[in-house]
Amino acid sequence: MRVLVIGSGGREHALSWAISKSPRVTKLFVAPGNGGTAAIAENAPIDITRHDAVLAFIAANAIDFVVIGPDAPAVAGLGDDVRAAGILCFGPSKAAAQLEGSKGFTKQICDEADIPTAAYGRFDSEEPALAYVRKHGAPIVVKADGLAAGKGVTVAMTLPEAEDAVRDCFSGAFGESGSSVVIEEFLVGEEASVFALCDGQNIVMLASAQDHKRVWDGDRGPNTGGMGAYSPAPVMTDAMMARTRAEIIEPTVRRMTERGTPFTGVLFAGLMVTDTGPKLIEYNVRFGDPECQVLMMRLKTDIVDLLEATARGKLAGVVPEWSDEVALTVVLATKGYPVSAEKGSVIAGAEDQDSATLRIFHAGTARNGTQLVANGGRVLNVTALGASVAEAQARAYAAVDKVDWPEGFCRRDIGWRAIAREKA
């Protein structure tokens, strides 16, 4: 099977690595890929926002199966165009990708299917939105409706902060994404991520994970795409996974099919585990980044079988196998991230560390001759397996310490919450 993975992040390196282990794969391309995927696949330097260019590449290279990694191409309908060309594709339709593309859409599905989530209001103009935050008071959460590269959410602890966030959205700080705003109840609890493969009818629950969104130790500082993650999430017990499936994932999948926009692909539920059970914070229509890295590290089943069964509507009876070990990943980012990130600094010591329990996935890297150089904000994902979160963490940081990259930084406390639990 000739496979094309779309994307260039750590998620796509991890997916490509898992795909490359499948004996079924005869050729693997990643478009556009990164410095890590170049070592295990052939990078295809195509502009993935141009669907005609992607289709031309597929035809010229006899691709059998396309796997869409990130949200942007899914929301732009690349999956529809690939399928329309008669090629098998893992990834949602444009219509189903609205679960990530529009927070208001997801809230509507929650209303229709009675899915537990934060109470909310949705507004298309500033005055009623301001009136709503004044009525409900802080803490309160203000969200630009559309994709805003993870920056459209303000968890406002004070009323003036909430009012400013509303004004920012309507003054165009997030472009079109902010022309509609969802304002919601502040949920209290522990966050976790749950992943499920869906083929429109059947659901296969994958593993859980927890990530660290804030840039600094102690979960402080601005939000990022994620500075580290581990799997499984201790808060997601078997009982909590079963409730999440029954109360959140199943009604969503059913509702999406009923309304004529069946969801296929991987559904990533961002949850708040509250005193009364799991509540949906948001959906993503893709694997998490860096959550995918820890999932792929633990997955024992051939990923190509899973992705293909999803794309073909054949998930009934599929049961993936996972390592019992914990996986933990530490993100190394360029100093200045998430505000800015200078490209081009040289990274040494990041290669030749891979073993059965350790793998360094690349995100924003590129090759400059024989040198590995930084090419973005999040750059490396140092990922380890261990019998406990503490052991996986120790292995990951031992490997981090062998990387020689003065222009980079990382958090030093990934997994702290779970390690505190292990010690308790």
Note the residues at the interface with ligand GLY (CB under 6 A). Answer: 211, 225-226, 284, 288-289, 291
Q: In the chain, what's the furthest Cα-to-Cα distance?
A: 60
Cis check: omega of the bond before 32, within 30 degrees of 0: yes
> Least distance from C-beta 271 to ligand AMP, angstroms?
10
411 is a contact residue toward ligand AMP (CB under 6 A)? no
Helices (H), 286-359: 291-298, 303-312
**Residue whose tokens read 């973005």:** 376
User: What CA–CA distance (Å, rounded) separates 384 from 401?
Assistant: 13
Binding ligand AMP (rule: CB under 6 A), the pick from 32, 270, 277, 349 is 270
User: What CA–CA distance (Å, rounded) separates 382 from 393?
Assistant: 10
* Torsion (CA) 92, 95, 96, 98 in degrees, nearest 10: 110
416 is a contact residue toward ligand AMP (CB under 6 A)? no
Under 8 Å between Cβ of 192 and 209: yes
In the shown chain, the binding pattern of residues 280 to 319 toward ligand AMP, with x for contact by CB under 6 A and - for none, equals -xx-------------------------------------
Q: In the range 217-236, which residues lie near ligand AMP by CB under 6 A?
A: none
- Binding residues with ligand AMP: total (CB under 6 A): 14
Nearest residue to 277 via CA among 237, 334, 309, 219: 237
In the shown chain, the binding pattern of residues 5 to 44 toward ligand AMP, with x for contact by CB under 6 A and - for none, equals ----------------------------------------
User: Three-state SS for 390?
Assistant: helix
Cβ distance to ligand AMP smaller for residue 193 or 375: 193
In the shown chain, the binding pattern of residues 183 to 202 toward ligand AMP, with x for contact by CB under 6 A and - for none, equals -xxxx---x-----------
**In what helix (H) or strand (E) does residue 51 lie, and over which residues does it extend?**
helix 51-60
User: What CA–CA distance (Å, rounded) separates 197 from 87?
Assistant: 19
| Residue 191: contacted member of ligand GLY, ligand AMP, none (CB under 5 to 8 Å, by partner type) | ligand AMP
| Residue 289: contacted member of ligand GLY, ligand AMP, none (CB under 5 to 8 Å, by partner type) | ligand GLY
Q: Which residues pair with 198 in a beta bridge?
A: 203, 265
> Least distance from C-beta 313 to ligand AMP, angstroms?
29
User: What CA–CA distance (Å, rounded) separates 160 from 158?
Assistant: 6
> Least distance from C-beta 223 to ligand AMP, angstroms?
6
> Least distance from C-beta 155 to ligand AMP, angstroms?
5
> Least distance from C-beta 358 to ligand AMP, angstroms?
28
**In what helix (H) or strand (E) does residue 27 lie, and over which residues does it extend?**
strand 27-32
Which positions touch ligand AMP (CB under 6 A)? 118, 141, 150, 153, 155, 184-187, 191, 213, 270, 281-282
